[in-house]
């Protein structure tokens, strides 16, 4: 059985003081039975991570956290960048790699993302590798082959022990921040295709154990139907993760399934 993961990507929102307040509220809005059933993770901006670490450690919260991006380089003259080993030192469990906003705004290529995946894996964290198509591709009906290509290109040359550690997130660009959610069937179609491709890239076992998340306008009103899909193992939540009560309601989806 794959354990569900509900991940909150805060993007460029909440300073370190706000991060402490939101994380505390989230922790108090959830009960032990929620943490027993679901992995809950938050992805604050870099400048919040140390504060979140101190709070999670100090209060022994059952919330894990990670970074939204990472440099592919180990160290050196890369002004403004943050290395995987720095994130590991802050006890990050996960790092998001290849979010569509990084691909679109910063022009991140499949080759670069492959290097970032390797950097995260070399520092013994779990990448959350994001893939997803833009609206034109969806409308042309090419979305499945497009996403499968992104998957293959991103994972090029990675070995099975590393493939096992990667979490996948299908985030159709047209559903991000638009209030336009993919239907549960849309999410299932692509998540199933990702799982099928993982048999070829990795193995049957890797495919069966891989956690595949859906992201794009997830909220408490639609999480249950999304989580009912056979190949969807969790959600990568943007806007709704900034409201701790709403994010907690999303994490409680398991109470009704």
Q: Which residue is nearest to ligand 13P (CB)?
A: 238
Q: Which of 32, 99, 106, 243 is catalytic?
A: 99
Q: Choosing from 101, 108, 133, 171, which is the catalytic residue?
A: 171
Query: Binding of ligand 13P at residue 2 (CB under 6 A)?
Result: no
Span of 47-55, 184-192, 234-242, 243-251 interacting with ligand 13P by CB under 6 A: 234-242
Record the tokens describing residue 138, joined without a space: 């969806």
Closest CA to 98 of 74, 78, 79, 118: 118
**Stretch of residues binding ligand 13P (CB under 6 A), selected from 51-59, 108-116, 143-151, 232-240:** 232-240
Burial of 141 (0-12, 13-18, 19+ CB in 10 A): exposed
How far apart CA 218 and CA 111 sit, in angstroms, is 29
- The DSSP annotation for 26-75 comes to HHHHS-HHHHHH-EEEEE--GGGHHHHHHHHHHTT-S-EEEES---SSSS
Q: Which of 71, 114, 217, 220 binds ligand 13P (CB under 6 A)?
A: 217
Minimum distance from residue 25 beta carbon to ligand 13P (Å): 19
Question: With contacts defined by CB under 6 A, how many residues of the chain interact with ligand 13P?
Answer: 14
Q: Does 176 bind ligand 13P (CB under 6 A)?
A: yes
Instruction: Determine if 172 is a binding residue for ligand 13P (CB under 6 A).
Output: no
Judged by DSSP in three states, 149 sits in: helix
Rounded distance, CA 115 to CA 106, Å? 15
**Dihedrals φ, ψ of 95, to 5°?**
-140, 130
Shortest Cβ distance from residue 116 to ligand 13P (Å)?
16
64 lines the binding site for ligand 13P (CB under 6 A)? no
Q: Which of residues 11-30 bind ligand 13P (CB under 6 A)?
A: none
C-beta closer to ligand 13P: residue 44 or 238: 238
Cβ-contact 100, 176 below 8 angstroms: yes
Q: How far is the CB of 9 from ligand 13P (least distance, A)?
A: 4
- Active-site residues, by number, are 99, 171
């Amino acid at each position: 059985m794959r354990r569900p993961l509900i991940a909150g990507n805060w993007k460029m929102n909440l300073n370190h003081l706000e991060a402490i307040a939101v994380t505390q509220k989230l922790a108090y809005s959830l009960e032990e039975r929620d943490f027993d059933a679901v992995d809950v993770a938050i992805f604050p901006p870099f400048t919040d991570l140390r504060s979140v670490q101190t709070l999670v450690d100090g209060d022994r919260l059952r919330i894990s956290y990670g970074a939204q991006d990472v440099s592919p380089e180990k160290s050196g003259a890369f002004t403004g960048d943050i290395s995987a080993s720095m994130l590991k030192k802050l006890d990050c469990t996960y790092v998001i790699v290849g979010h569509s906003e990084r691909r679109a705004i910063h022009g991140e290529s499949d080759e670069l993302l492959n290097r970032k995946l390797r950097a995260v894996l070399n520092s013994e964290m779990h990448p959350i590798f994001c893939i997803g198509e833009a609206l034109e591709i969806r409308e042309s009906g090419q979305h499945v082959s497009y996403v499968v290509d992104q998957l293959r290109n991103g994972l090029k040359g990675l070995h099975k022990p590393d493939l096992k550690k990667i979490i996948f997130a299908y985030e159709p660009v047209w559903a991000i921040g638009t209030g336009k959610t993919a239907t549960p069937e849309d999410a299932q179609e692509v998540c199933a295709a990702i799982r099928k491709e993982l048999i070829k890239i990795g193995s049957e076992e890797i495919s069966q154990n891989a956690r595949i998340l859906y992201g794009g306008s997830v909220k408490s009103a639609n999480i249950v139907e999304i989580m009912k899909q056979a190949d969807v193992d969790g959600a990568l939540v943007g806007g709704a993760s900034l409201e701790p009560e709403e994010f907690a309601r999303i994490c409680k989806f398991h109470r009704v399934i």
